[in-house]
Structure 1
Amino acid sequence: MQEGLEAAAIGAGKAQGAAARPASQRAMQRRAVVAASLGNALEWFDFTVFSFFAVLIGKLFFPVEGEYGSLLLSLATFGIGFVMRPLGSVVIGNYADRAGRKPALTLTIGLMALGTAIIGLAPTYAQIGIAAPLLIVAGRLLQGFSAGGEVGAATSFLMESGTRANRGFMVSWQMAGQGASALAGALCGALLTRGLAPEALESWGWRVPFLLGLMIGPVGFYIRRHLDETHSDHARERSAFAEVLRGHGRALLLGTLLILGGTASMYVVVFYMPSYLVKMAHMPPATSLLAGCAAGATLLVLSPLAGWLADRLPRRKPLLLAVSLLSLLVVWPAFSAVQGQPSLATVLAVVVGLVALLSTSSPAGFLLIMESFPRKVRATGLAIVYASGVTLFGGFAQFIVTWLLKLSGDPMAPAWYMLGCSAVSFAALLAFREQAAAD
């Protein structure tokens, strides 16, 4: 009798433990999603606001003559932050693969917040002269360095916090977080543009979103300090950077080429579209900002669904091939429609359609790349891939497209740029070897 009671108690304890483990695992995954998304949100919120106020920032900090002069300098400053991304990917990626994901994530959000504060509080050129644009550049360089390691550490952390059955869904929150922050940035820009007089917007209104973004920093810093670690390797003798270069060169090259199409499309459609609509389609600034809202909302809603889909497919590559081919086919008609009928309805349909394609492929694309690297070099590998591709063809996308518009006068220049980058990515995808699910 006593033995039976003891056996029953042991069985009940095991059952309770088995029930508690999934509950605790779900709680850990929720913390992982929030922690990883907050750092990414700060980065993208700032990028979105900077892009939407690029014309005004150019006027205040880069006062040069010519229709495109100050805008080009403002967009070049936006792009110059990306020059630091490869350095950040190596330094912070190595740190994440050695010391752990948690300390790397804590470091990146602190650096991002500092860069945002510098930009939001910088005096204008009229107030302090040449020091003003130098401060803006310094803020962007600091943000670029931190962002270079953020994606590798945060996305690896999301993947490793999930299981083989839901890692696509976990990774999808990287893009969903970007969508949420892009939506918040666009809404903030639209409300300020509509609600403030031009003088007030130029005087202080443009600074409000940057200062609001700073609120994310302390919250994210606190949450990231209290995460459960998913990987660390303090005893490693060789740097992850050296190891990934020596043993995974093919994955680095093809991974970098693979993300070109999506990166170029993302930065043109989400960030450049408001300036493009004002300059080329002569739409009101507040109306054009709604395109950014539509892009952010689409990313936020569709990315988790795309992650769920990626988890249920036996292979990632067929989905990516189908989406890539469809993207190549619709880019030209999409921009032709905007030029032919520059109405709000047309713009929103084009933006939602293009971003929907990006959302559908992103989780599967991230998994395809990350599963080609072992856990011990995953953060460094993904960070280098992402930083290199984004630096070369994403960060300077707005500058390149504006320069092409000035040089050719062809309003279809953004479509040509996106088509070229997408064609390169399609070729890289054909050559990419899909690996079995990694640890």
Structure 2
Amino acid sequence: MANIEDLEQLFQLQNETLATEFKSWLDLDAPAGRAPLAKAAIALANHGGGAILIGMREVSNAPIGSYPRPAQINRYTADAVNAAVNRYADPHIHCELVHLNHPISGNEHAVVVVPGGQIVPVMAAKGTDGEILAQKVYIRKPGPKSEEPFTAEEWRTLLDRCVRANRDSLLEAIRGIVQGHSLDSIAQAQIDELLKFTEVSRDRWNERLEPLPKDDPARFPLGHYEQSFQVLNVSPAQDLRSLLGHLRKASEVRLTGWGPFVVLDRRPIGPVPVGDAIEAWVGDPREEHRDGRHCDFWRVRPDGFLYEIRSYDEDFTEKAEPGTAVDLTIPIWRVGETLLYVARLAKLFGEDPEISVRVQYDGLKGRRMSALFDWRYLSYDRECFVGTVKMQGQARASVIEDNLAEVLFPLLKPLYDAFDFAPLSLGMVSEEIAKFRNNRY
């Protein structure tokens, strides 16, 4: 099931993204309404998944805004949405439907969540009035827009994504038979080097915070976690512009609503050059609609060092009092997604480099680990009696991509142990990874 809180953040977007499309209200009882929905869903499925927000345009190509559903259009159902999409899509796509109220207008909107993980390209089985053409494949392109792939690079990207999805399915099956252990220890010299970069980056974050009030949410007063990485033995990016290109490329794969090292192309929260690094601070006080949940700060250097600090999702949900909880599965999702991001980025530096990893959770003392957002069962909540937990390790980029569960399980074990030995198994980690890799958020 899609994460409601992540989907609600889509209302804050100023423009469409490669993984998000805004549509006017569509009459799903008519071909003119079904066809554009199907075309968007096919393109998003081939892109790796995403979301379609219905009712965010009055008419096609109009400015983005919240518009009420016309009286003549019935409230959408999941059956109607999937029937409209699968009238055209081959193979069929099973989309989720979520109804959400716009935070300002109060209008109810339909959000169609399109899954990724396709092992073959999805094509249109039939056409309608030029809106969608039979036997055509659609993908998402910069603009953003949904069009056919024309270049060799566009086809290669699409086919690579399908091959990877098929490989992931096979690897998940193999894990049930053979369980590997793929996280290596870090040499002390590398620990020291990564820690030095972490401390410098943390100081840069504190410099940004200095003029803010002591209770400002961007300070993460209830706690936060930080992740640091070093891509080992690679040639540095040519310059900061080239590095930014690498970051954008790694961000093309989107697994959850708000991913790691988010690149937002607007002032004052977009990435900027600062000395020998690129920095981005979503918590900049000049950002009109900022909130404590989305005040990430990150810093990346051309020589393969990365740092990011983020708040706890659990402090921004009605399911728990702020500062009191850690969800049983969110660390798997957040750290796992970041590892995959860094592995993609690392392969842009070198063929298959080693990556050093350091993760630190702060503000844990007194928090309880419980199953807030998942069907998983805990016989009782597990309390943490220490304020900070540090985790570290090292793995090759290909090992992270192909054996993420085996990397993530030992890396996160100290965190779960700190919560009164909360349950964590390789099977549980593998199942959660499969969920977010298939865009089931």
Q: Which has the higher strand share?
A: 2
Work out which structure has the larger RCO, using CA pairs closer than 8 Å and 6 or more positions apart in sequence: 1
TM-score normalised per structure 1: 0.24
TM-score normalised per structure 2: 0.24
